[in-house]
Amino acid sequence: MAARKLRRIRFFLLILVIFLSIFGIGWAIFYSPFLKIEGVEVSGTKTLDAALIQIAAEEWLSGKVLLFPKKNLLLYQPKLLDEKLKEKFPKIASIKLSFENQKHKLKIEVVERKGEGFWCIQQSNKCFLFDAEGVIFTEVEKPEGSGGLFVEDLRNILPSQGENIVSSEWILFMKLFRDEVQPDIWIASYILEPEWFENGYIKAKTTAGWQIFMNADKSLAKNSAEILKTLLKKEIGEKKVELLEYIDLRVPGRAYYKLK
């Protein structure tokens, strides 16, 4: 009995030593001054306030993982921090995180989204800037005129800032087609209607008032533009163009038009 009791005590002591060793090693690592994050430095901002990004990052680092503080190079969870900052600041396109050993600082280098134009949503009666990836990121007043793309979205949607409202393929098509037809034809806005969008079609309203119906496949942008310009020059002409209601380019390689 005494021997069995002694073995139990030894086993308990062994487990206790192992546990204390692991905990001690963990404590030494996670509280090590060599791995401690003592500050945050933000760079790369153009219109965003770097101080606000710094405050948001420091708030994140003030938390804990179990019993250990996040202000540690091994515990600050870079992927989650990246997601948190992008959620709070939708204008951030990408983030690069690095650690400066000498100053023990977490360096956050941000790249801001570049606006391609204005996206106005009928459902919410709100307008946003959007980038080449189709992400809306800043609410703005409806523009009177636009130097970039202008999209009127008639779909039943209520997106949030930072969301992809369409794929980058749609944005690329709109840019390519616009660049191909100007300066012969000026696009005032693109129009997205629910059923048309589902079938991959898009409308364009010209500054002259008539519309263009298209298949929004980027591979068709250049060809559609050439067909449009040829039709206007050789068949419709300057006199009829004032009577145009629409030109339909949805069938690849063909064009149909209707006069008022």
At residue 3, does pLDDT exceed 80?
no
Record: fold of 117-259 = Rossmann fold (3.40.50)
Q: What is the pLDDT of residues 47-106, one digit of tens each?
A: 999 999 999 999 998 888 777 778 877 778 899 999 999 999 999 999 999 988 777 899
Cβ atoms of 168 and 130 within 8 Å: the answer is no
| % of the chain exceeding 90 in pLDDT | 65
In this predicted structure, what is the pLDDT of residue 104? 84
Amino acid at 118: F
Count CB neighbours of 6 within 10 A. Answer: 10
Q: Which residue do the tokens 């690592």 mark?
A: 29
Residue with tokens 């990121």: 137
The vertex-121 CA angle with 206 and 188, nearest 5°, equals 15
Q: Which comes out higher in pLDDT, residue 102 or 251?
A: 251
> What's the count of helices (H) and strands (E) in the chain, helices before strands?
7, 14
H helices of 89-236, in order, are 168-181, 194-198, 221-231
Residues 6+ apart with CB under 8 A from 235: none
* pLDDT for residue 24: 58
On the question of pLDDT at 209 being above 60, the answer is: yes
Closest to 184 (Cα-Cα) out of 232, 149, 224, 136: 232
Can you name the residues that pair with 203 across neighbouring β-strands? 191, 213
Answer whether residue 42 shows pLDDT above 80: yes
**Which fold is adopted by the domain 39-112?**
Ubiquitin-like (UB roll) (3.10.20)
Start and end residues for every CATH 3.40.50.11690 domain found in the chain: 117-259
The pLDDT of residue 224 is: 95
Residue in this structure with the two tokens 């942008």, named with its chain if needed: 221
Average pLDDT, the chain: 88
Residues 6 or more apart whose CB falls under 8 angstroms from that of 209 comprise none
Q: Indicate the pLDDT class of residue 16, thresholds 50, 70 and 90.
A: low
pLDDT (0 to 100) of residue 208: 93
Backbone angles phi, psi at 179, to 5 degrees: -65, -30
**What is the model's pTM?**
0.81
* 17 burial level (CB within 10 Å; 0-12, 13-18, 19+): exposed
Residue ranges, comma separated, of all CATH 3.10.20 domains in the chain are 39-112
Structure tokens at 224: 């559609």
